[in-house]
Structure 1
Amino acid sequence: MNKLLEVKNLKKYFPIQTGVFHKTQSFVKAVDDVSFDVYEGETLGIVGESGCGKSTTGRSIIRLIEPTNGQVIFQGKNLSELKGHDLQKIRRDLQIVFQDPYASLNPRMTVGTILEEPLKIHGLGSAVERRERVKELLTIVGLTEYHYDRYPHEFSGGQRQRVGIARALITRPKLIVADEPVSALDVSIQSQILNLMKDLQEQFGLTYMFISHDLSVVRHISDRVGVMYLGRMVELAPKHKLYANPKHPYTQALLSAVPHPNPKETRERITLSGDVPSPANPPAGCAFHTRCHACMDICKTERPELKPSSDGHFVACHLY
């Protein structure tokens, strides 16, 4: 498969400012030196606890927030170097589906106006063509032309997320960052939205970067899975390898907490000790060593790099 996106040493630090003059005292290292690739037509799942930096990573990639450092190369172009018209042009190929389907839609605009807006910004089609394109896309995502003139508050949560997906699709992008797209929905609606996203991926040849804290959801939709902890990528592998043989102690602990569908089958639960360290003051060495049951002396001083441990399986751990 061809590489669609290359993320190299991505960092996003938020300054902590104090005093009358807002002097910067330190930084919250939300994303700290993350690297990975995304291939055409695949779904890369990104998982981790709340606050691990997965959403910030997604938003930094498409420059909804400006990264502090690193490179994001999309189809051979370094996004961090693009400005003005060049950046706007490439945004047609990079879209996002937000977590909250209500807060991400303007309550004063009808669905038709919301979906037409990206087409107007990019100068795509006449007024008649835009209207027809919107109505066609509403049907594709499971709504009807009748919904064209309705407002967001008139929809259910699942219907609003379908509108959010339609808005991301309207410019026919190549990559969609899905930031917790089903976490605010009921379980029955979650499955509908996930199946819709898989169908749209086949129909339009989409590539997804799917961000979630739900390991079961990620397993259902992803081809490869990356695990983040405290702003860093600690493991990256094809789905079947990661779930069958997790190598990093943090991944092992996460998977041990997933409920098993067979109540008669028991598994050993790995309980993590202590709290997640602050990203404003991360521990030296491996960020996970303060909670790791397999911690060694080298873990406390030397930061492990994300390296291949087997074919297609990468892990950042001194055990390997």
Structure 2
Amino acid sequence: MSEWLLEVQGLKKYFPIAGGIFGRKIGEVKAVDDVSFYVKKGETLGIVGESGCGKSTTGRLLMRLIEASEGKVVFEDQEITRMSKSELRKVRRDIQMVFQDPYASLNPRHTVETILEEPLIVHGIGTKEERRKRVREMLEVVGLSSYHARRYPHQFSGGQRQRIGIAKALMTKPKLIIADEPVSALDVSIQAQVLNLMRDIQHEFQLTYIFIAHDLGVVRHISDRVGVMYLGRLIELSDAELLYDQPKHPYTKALLSAVPVPDPAMKRDRITLTGELPSPANPPSGCAFHTRCSLCIDICKIARPESVNLNGHSVACHLYNE
């Protein structure tokens, strides 16, 4: 068996654009455009980028919550993209998701106990008493109390709701958790608590994470490797420390220059991007970033750069040596 828990090859998702009287297809939105990466067992892979870059769509494609247009997703040597619904249900026991909005992802009409029991009922795990015991255990694991099981989601704060969302993801004892911006809807003071909780849980249950976020500071805190997305493509991927210390892509450098530094005496050159983020319905030719890049040369406008692997540091840029 491979050391890789998850492998993604050439993943694409194009959404059709309908128009005219008859609603015919007149174009397509390239939400995810040829993304490839792997995830090792026990690591945290962070995926960052601006809103609309395709990172959340990528997360949903990995679980087949939406169907891919092209590409392969292989989990533990099993290709998810070709599985039947019954086969997929078995695999989803090992892959769970934590969503961005902790309130929208919890049914307001159900108690916490009913919400947490649901994954176990769906997968046919345990007796009623065993399921209730598991609910109480998971509530304690995420820093809540067993008596909270009788309450409803509206009776909790945002941070507590996200803890319930994490508990729900843990119910089936998964191997991989895809966390889609799990702390972006929380107060800054609560974000650190939830991130530390997720890191403790990872060590306790030997979990693997894909952590999707737009905040580079948050991603650095929790990730072993970081991938940067721009307009549906993965343009840079590296070990977290190497990416933050020696970014290769101009877009990554611009993002890092905007991260606040908690030292008023430290001066940092801010790289300001000009222009607007292009539409994924009409992406630029060549390198998608060339319309906003100050280093742009002629080849950037014509040829789409392939990803180059520099001792584990991958970058898709014609000027990575500059």
Question: 1:293 and 2:294 equivalent?
Answer: yes
- What CA distance in whole angstroms lies between the structure 1 residues aligned with 2:307 and 2:35? 9
Match of 2:314 in 1: 314
Match of 2:12 in 1: 11
Match of 2:102 in 1: 101
- What CA distance in whole angstroms lies between the structure 1 residues aligned with 2:39 and 2:306? 19
Match of 2:195 in 1: 194
Is there any run of 5+ residues in structure 1 with no aligned partner, and where?
none
- Where does 1:1-320 land on structure 2 (aligned, <5 Å)? 2-309=3-310, 311-320=311-320
CA shift, 1:267, in A, is 1.1
User: Secondary structure of the equivalent of 1:241?
Assistant: helix
Show CA shifts across 1:157-209 (max 9, x none): 00000000000010011110000000000111100000000000000000000
What is the TM-score normalised by the length of structure 2? 0.98
User: Secondary structure of the equivalent of 2:292?
Assistant: coil
User: Secondary structure of the equivalent of 1:251?
Assistant: helix
- What CA distance in whole angstroms lies between the structure 2 residues aligned with 1:307 and 1:93? 32
CA shift, 1:20, in A, is 3.6
Aligned residues: 319
Show CA shifts across 1:1-59 (max 9, x none): 91000000000111111134221110000000000000000000000000000000001
- What CA distance in whole angstroms lies between the structure 2 residues aligned with 1:105 and 1:21? 38
- What CA distance in whole angstroms lies between the structure 2 residues aligned with 1:305 and 1:6? 19
Show CA shifts across 1:132-166 (max 9, x none): 01111111110111111110000000000000000
- What CA distance in whole angstroms lies between the structure 1 residues aligned with 2:76 and 2:87? 14
User: Secondary structure of the equivalent of 1:132?
Assistant: helix
The residue identity in structure 1 corresponding to 2:272 is T
- What CA distance in whole angstroms lies between the structure 1 residues aligned with 2:45 and 2:313? 14
User: Secondary structure of the equivalent of 1:317?
Assistant: coil
User: Secondary structure of the equivalent of 2:290?
Assistant: coil
CA shift, 1:84, in A, is 2.0
User: Secondary structure of the equivalent of 1:4?
Assistant: strand
The residue identity in structure 1 corresponding to 2:218 is V
The residue identity in structure 2 corresponding to 1:248 is H
Is there any run of 5+ residues in structure 2 with no aligned partner, and where?
none
User: Secondary structure of the equivalent of 1:308?
Assistant: strand
Show CA shifts across 1:236-264 (max 9, x none): 00011000010100000000011111111
User: Secondary structure of the equivalent of 1:290?
Assistant: helix
User: Secondary structure of the equivalent of 2:143?
Assistant: coil
- What CA distance in whole angstroms lies between the structure 1 residues aligned with 2:172 and 2:249? 39
- What CA distance in whole angstroms lies between the structure 2 residues aligned with 1:63 and 1:176? 14
CA shift, 1:305, in A, is 1.1
- What CA distance in whole angstroms lies between the structure 2 residues aligned with 1:62 and 1:52? 18
- What CA distance in whole angstroms lies between the structure 1 residues aligned with 2:29 and 2:78? 28
